[in-house]
Amino acid sequence: MKFIDPHIHMTSRTTNDYEAMSKAGIVAIIEPAFWLGQPRTEVGSFKDYFSSIVGWEAFRASQFGIKHYCTIGLNSKEANNESLAEEVMELLPLFALKDNVVAIGEIGYDDQTAAEDKYFRVQIELAKELELPILVHTPHRDKKRGTLRSMDVLEEHGIDPSTVIIDHNNEETVESVLERGYWTAFTIYPNTKMGSERMVAVVEKYGSNKIFIDSSADWGVSDPLSVPKTAQLMLDKGITSEIVQAVCYQNALEAYAQSGNMKESDWSDGVHFDQSILYGGNSVLRGQPPKKSDDSNIIEN
């Protein structure tokens, strides 16, 4: 079975993760623009970070046979630094048109401040102008209210819910998000977000329509194999493979294919970095093919 992880922060993950992900059957990933764990203080940091997720990280992923996409946006936390946020707004159009950008995101609320609200709305308008889907980060504190408010604001701006992915849902938000016609994503992340067993229960209750999962693996204790592991758990608990395919691959593809930048043919024949280059090689850095990780103490020569 093939998998997509539509929300994972690979800049903070190692090649061990890429190897494991590749081995587990993950063929495509989406890396939303986010913060780095501590607040950025200069617009240059954003510029170089955006540049790395449209270029370098996509290359790094390709070396492991994984097709990498990203979203571009100013996350809710860093929207609170208004003078910096203004500068970032000017950068966004320069990066949002790149090849592997599948949405404006991840945007939304963190503390639900006035500044967060302002830049959420500015970026919603940008997504409209550029005809890109929107990835919404729902707050981890006061989540239910924040999620409802996010949807209200999107609708105020005339956004079609089927072009929006609301992420980090839980048992408290799932019904309203599904009802209002949004893509309903769940993050399988230990302690702070969904556990995989709870996810099985959600799928048993609501089916697979408009539902998909991701790992949001980042610099914290998180698991880049959340998607394939949860898939296996679902199968073990008797959920059909059609439903598992939808929740762990097909729905994410459908949601983000709306950007025009993501399609199955991008990875169905294997991931090559730039097919138009006649002389460029796809050889792996350091001359070694991606290998399965070993338990032995010998590091390959």
Partner 1 sequence: MRLSELIKEYCLNELKDEKTKSWLDQKLHSIKTDQDFFISFALINKKIPRGHLQLSLSQLQIIQLKYPEFNIENWTLDQLCRFSLLMYYPLLSVESLTKLISVADTREQISIFKSIPYLENASHFAPIVVNGIRTNIVDVFDAITLKNPYPASYFSQDEWNQMILKAVFMERPIYQIKDIDQRKNEKLAHILFDYARERWAASRRVTPELWRMISGYITEKLFVEMIKKMAEGNAQDQKAMLKLIQESNLDAAQQWLNSQSTQIEPISWDQIGSDFWHNNQALQNASKA
Q: How far is the CB of 280 from partner 1 (least distance, A)?
A: 4
Q: How far is the CB of 159 from partner 1 (least distance, A)?
A: 21
- The two most distant CA atoms of the chain are separated, in Å, by 59
Question: Which residue in the set 98, 121, 180, 229 belongs to the binding site for partner 1 (CB under 8 A)?
Answer: 98
Residue 197 near partner 1 by CB under 8 A: no
Separation CA 165–CA 177 (nearest Å): 10
Residue 276 near partner 1 by CB under 8 A: yes
Stretch that binds partner 1, among 90-98, 134-142, 152-160, 231-239 (CB under 8 A): 90-98
Q: Which is nearer to partner 1, 158 or 281 (CB)?
A: 281
Question: Which residue in the set 41, 192, 209, 283 belongs to the binding site for partner 1 (CB under 8 A)?
Answer: 283
Separation CA 219–CA 10 (nearest Å): 9
Beta partners for 101? Answer: 70
Question: Quick one: DSSP state of residue 140?
Answer: S
Sheet holding 164-167, edge to edge: 3-5, 26-32, 67-72, 101-108, 134-137, 164-167, 183-187, 211-214
Q: Which two tokens stand for residue 121?
A: 């709305």
Question: Which residue in the set 95, 119, 182, 249 belongs to the binding site for partner 1 (CB under 8 A)?
Answer: 95
Q: How far is the CB of 79 from partner 1 (least distance, A)?
A: 21
Q: How far is the CB of 292 from partner 1 (least distance, A)?
A: 12
Please, which residues have CB within 8 angstroms of residue 170's CB and are 6 or more apart in sequence?
143, 186, 193, 194
* Closest listed residue to residue 224, CA positions, set 186, 185, 188: 188
Q: How far is the CB of 44 from partner 1 (least distance, A)?
A: 9
* 211-228: b (≥16 Cβ within 10 Å) or e: bbbbbbbbeeebbbbbbb
Please, which residues have CB within 8 angstroms of residue 205's CB and are 6 or more apart in sequence?
none
Question: Which residue in the set 38, 236, 278, 300 belongs to the binding site for partner 1 (CB under 8 A)?
Answer: 278
Residue 54 near partner 1 by CB under 8 A: yes
Separation CA 224–CA 78 (nearest Å): 25
Stretch that binds partner 1, among 87-95, 118-126, 171-179, 218-226 (CB under 8 A): 87-95
Residue 268 near partner 1 by CB under 8 A: no
Q: Which is nearer to partner 1, 192 or 288 (CB)?
A: 288
Q: Which is nearer to partner 1, 91 or 148 (CB)?
A: 91
Interface positions with partner 1 (CB under 8 A) = 47, 50-51, 54-56, 58-59, 65, 91, 93-95, 97-100, 270, 273-274, 276-283, 285, 287, 289, 301
